[in-house]
A and B are shown apart, each in its own frame.
Chain A
Amino acid sequence: MTAFPAALLPLPVAVPLVVCAAMLATAHVLPGRLPDILATLAALTVAVLCGVIATHAADGPLVYWFGGWEPRDGVHLGIGFSVDEASGWVAAFIGLLYALTFVFAWGFFDRTHGHFHILMLLFLAAMVGFCFTRDMFNLFVWFEVMSVAAFALTAYHLAESSLAGAINFTVVNSLAGFLMLGGIGLIYAQTGTLDFEGIAAAVARGGRDPVVAGAFCLVAAALMIKGAIVPFQFWLADAHAVAPSPVSVIFSGSMVSLGLFGLAKVSAVAFGGSDQVQHALPGLLIGLGSFTALLGGWMALLQRHLKRLLAFSTISHAGIMLTGLGALSVDGTGGMLVYVVGHGLVKGALFMIAGILLATQASIDEIALRGLGRGIWPAGIAMALAGLLLCGLPLGVLDQGTRLVQGALWQQGYGVALAAGAIGAALTGAAVLRAAGRIFLGLGSDPGDEAGAPSADEREKANRPLWLMLAPCCLLLALDIGLPAALIEHALPRAASAFMHRPTVHALAEGPGWLPWASVAAALAGAGFGLFRRHLPAFVVRPVSATQSAPTRVLEMLHSGLIGDYAAWLAVGVAAIAAVLAIA
């Protein structure tokens, strides 16, 4: 393999930025579909470039120093990009997800002078930069660019609920930005550098240090807010449910998991040498992750607003990713990286189906849509398949990631986290399958307990043919199922070791083979219960309803939509992380 010119590393960030600037300058004269075409091509270019970079990074990370400010005598002054194989592939996946989202949104945003595309390309550039950077402050800058684009995109419809959702999202994520900046200031004051490697070296030299622990606490809290980990998860359901569908695809498919990706990088590389942080991490990540997986799954089951249902499902899966990270092993982190891609593919497809329902049936409410999906049955098949994949059908990329995460947890004896992950996946799968059964088969009758969950009237433009919307959705599912497992098995041990800066391991452990099937069975049972509770004998239904209603009311009350409550929970969460770090 020839050496890849490292000077080309900033290209995947520069391309969308340049296209974005050119479109902004010419927006009012660009004819009809040109913004769609340009944006799709730009995203595809990013995907291909990142793929090329990733294949070249297989031999070792590629490094680029902006302005030629290379480190001298161990002093890191410049800002660098450093791309290992795993980061490169994650960025390539993000580029592809954007390209398919642009196809899905073809003509959706007529007469907006391409402003949607401009914001989305800015969003894409920020995500790729976030994957590539090796500098703490640069990480923060991409984090903020990502946030600002996301805030504006959430409020795109300028409807009452989307504005409220966007304000909640903005306030919580701005607080995350402030925490992160504070943490970065602390770590810089202690180590005198912002470079990941420089920080790692200084932290390893320093020994136990409350300032380093404090810095990690703030940075980790910020990234967990982005990753929607309990108790920072409140903003997500508000924002994802009200954003335009193509934006939700990106939010759930890549933005949330990127928060955890950042956490993986920061904790494995920059803070890898701090014993205090490394001691605290397993308990912290596995505890919060398990709790998040269960709570997200449970909340998903209670929703009748389809996009809100999917949003809570994303929270649950973010929890599962966090438990994989908490294993602190190459297996766990490798599994999590595969999980990020698999989850993005499946969840992206599901949000596209929600968008299809919004566009063709002018509703997103599961109960109101009952039986209305019969006319668009191909979408129903896709939704059922996606639901099965989500709860763990042993097929495709998501399943491979699940088994690796489970393998890591199994090996280290985290039985509770293993169970929580399986149950969380089963609950979200059950919710999606129940919704699919109700919408596309007309099953189920009385809304029952679900009627308590919030919903809202919404509609999106129905100016696109069904096949155009369905094609990217099916392609995402096909990619999840079709990517050869051998390819990932071959490359992952090396890529994950390089990502974590650990010596290469040769094979990764996998979890027990029966566990995914157990999740699928539980999901089918849960969906069946939701749809046919009328026909079930009372001695089955009554205990479930009785145990369900009180905690359900409490949970719905907690997700109040009030920004004040969310800020209070944020303070509680940061205090909890600080306490765990202090004890370690």
Chain B
Amino acid sequence: MSAVTSVLPYGVAAWLFGIGLYGIATSRNFIHLVGCLGVCQSATYVLLLGLGYRWGSIAPIFYDHPPGTPAVDPVMQALVLTDIVVGATLTALLLVLTIQAYKRGGSLDPEKLRPMRAGGKSGRDAGSGRVRDA
């Protein structure tokens, strides 16, 4: 195992998280944004699997191996599995929210859909309208 290959998974994880975050920061479409969030999450998969990996070991299933055979860390794999479940829940929830937002706002652009600024009506307009009414 060379120094490059042992550092590689962490580099890949950092790169994935960074590029995903960049995607979220610049996204102009909610579906694209959900995809970018998935990229960020892939970073955690790579990181966890990289941390749990043992060179020259088998998967932690001892069905046809004698106990004591070196295996990769099963705890990390359990963490990744849980993470996948969490990720599926989040993606589903976010996509539902996106669909509902599209139904109501008619747009998938985060710029057009901001909390407290619904319908392009800024606080100042709403306020002056009310003052005039009174």
Asked if B21 and A175 sit within 8 Å, CB to CB, the answer is: yes
- Answer yes or no: A562 CB below 8 A from chain B CBs: yes
If A152-B93, A171-B24, A456-B118 touch, does A181 touch B83 (CB 8 Å cutoff)? yes
- Which of these, A159, A168, A453, contacts B104 with CB under 8 Å? A159
Docked-complex contact B93 and A160, CB < 8 angstroms: no
The answer, among B25, B26, B114, B127, for a CB contact under 8 Å with A561, is B114
Residue in B104, B115, B127 whose CB lies within 8 Å of A165 = B115
With an 8 A cutoff between CB atoms, is A317 at the interface? no
A565 and B116: CB pair below 8 A? no
Min Cβ gap A508→B in Å is 39
Residue-by-residue, is B83-124 near A (CB-CB < 8 Å gives 1, otherwise 0)? 100100110011001101100110000110111111100111
For A238, what are the chain B residues with a Cβ–Cβ distance below 8 Å? Answer: 115-116
Cβ-defined contact, B100 with A155, below 8 A: yes
| A167 interface contact, C-beta 8 A | yes
Partner of A455, one of B48, B94, B116: B116
Q: Quick check: which of A182-190, A265-273, A290-298 contacts chain B, the rest being far away?
A: A182-190
Chain B residues within an 8 Å CB radius of A571: 21, 25
Contacting residues, chain A, for B116 (C-beta < 8 A): 161, 165, 238, 241-242, 305, 308, 454-456, 561
Q: B48 — which chain A residues lie within 8 A by C-beta?
A: 181-182, 185
Asked if residues A148 and B114 are in contact (CB atoms below 8 Å), the reply is no
Cα(A560)–Cα(B76), bound, Å: 38
**In the assembled complex, A286 has its CB within 8 A of some CB on chain B:** no
Which of B43, B51, B118, B128 is close to A161, meaning CB atoms less than 8 Å apart?
B118
- Structural contact, A185 and B131, CB atoms closer than 8 A: no
Q: Counting CB contacts under 8 A, is A141 at the interface?
A: yes
Give the shortest distance, in Å, between A489 (CB) and chain B (any CB): 42
A175 touches B101 (CB 8 A): no
Which chain B residues lie closer than 8 Å to A199 at the CB level?
Answer: none
> With an 8 A cutoff between CB atoms, is B12 at the interface?
no
Interface pair B124/A451, CB less than 8 Å apart: yes
Q: Which of chain A's residues have a CB closer than 8 A to the CB of B25? A: 564-565, 567-568, 571
Partner of B128, one of A148, A177, A451: A451
B75 lies within 8 A of chain A by Cβ? yes
Contact between B21 and A163 (Cβ–Cβ < 8 Å)?
Answer: no
Contacting residues, chain B, for A568 (C-beta < 8 A): 25
Give chain A's interface secondary structure class: helix
* CA A447 to CA B128, docked complex, whole Å: 9
Q: Is the beta-carbon distance between A182 and B13 smaller than 8 angstroms?
A: yes
List of A residues within 8 angstroms of B110 by Cβ = 167, 562-564
Say yes or no: A447 contacts B17, CB within 8 Å: no
Q: Which residues of A contact B65 (CB under 8 A)?
A: none
Number of interface residues of A (CB under 8 A): 59
Residue of A nearest to B98 (CB): A167
B51 neighbours in A (Cβ, 8 Å): 185-186, 188-189
A570 close to B127 (CB less than 8 A): no
Q: How far is the CB of B53 from chain A (nearest CB, A)?
A: 10
Does residue A93 face the partner (Cβ distance < 8 Å to B)? no
User: Is residue B47 within 8 Å, beta carbon to beta carbon, of the partner chain?
Assistant: yes
A238-287: which have CB < 8 Å to B? 238, 241-242
A336 CB to nearest B CB, Å: 29
- Residues on A with C-beta less than 8 A from B82 are 137, 141
Also in contact, A174 and B90, with CB within 8 A (given A141-B82, A455-B126): yes
Using A181-B48, A368-B130, A454-B116 as known contacts, list a sample of 16 further A-B pairs with CB atoms less than 8 Å apart, ordered by residue number in A. Answer: A141-B82, A163-B97, A164-B105, A164-B115, A167-B113, A175-B24, A178-B41, A185-B51, A189-B51, A189-B76, A451-B124, A455-B127, A456-B116, A456-B117, A563-B24, A565-B25
* Sample (30) of A-B pairs whose CB atoms are under 8 Å apart: A137-B79, A148-B90, A151-B93, A155-B97, A158-B104, A159-B104, A160-B105, A163-B104, A163-B113, A164-B105, A165-B115, A171-B24, A171-B37, A175-B24, A175-B37, A178-B40, A181-B48, A185-B51, A185-B79, A188-B51, A188-B75, A188-B76, A188-B79, A308-B116, A367-B131, A368-B130, A451-B123, A456-B126, A562-B114, A567-B24
B interface, CB within 8 angstroms of A: 13, 17, 21, 24-27, 30, 33, 37, 40-41, 43-44, 47-48, 51-52, 75-76, 79, 82-83, 86, 89-90, 93-94, 97-98, 100-101, 104-105, 110-111, 113-119, 122-124, 126-128, 130-131
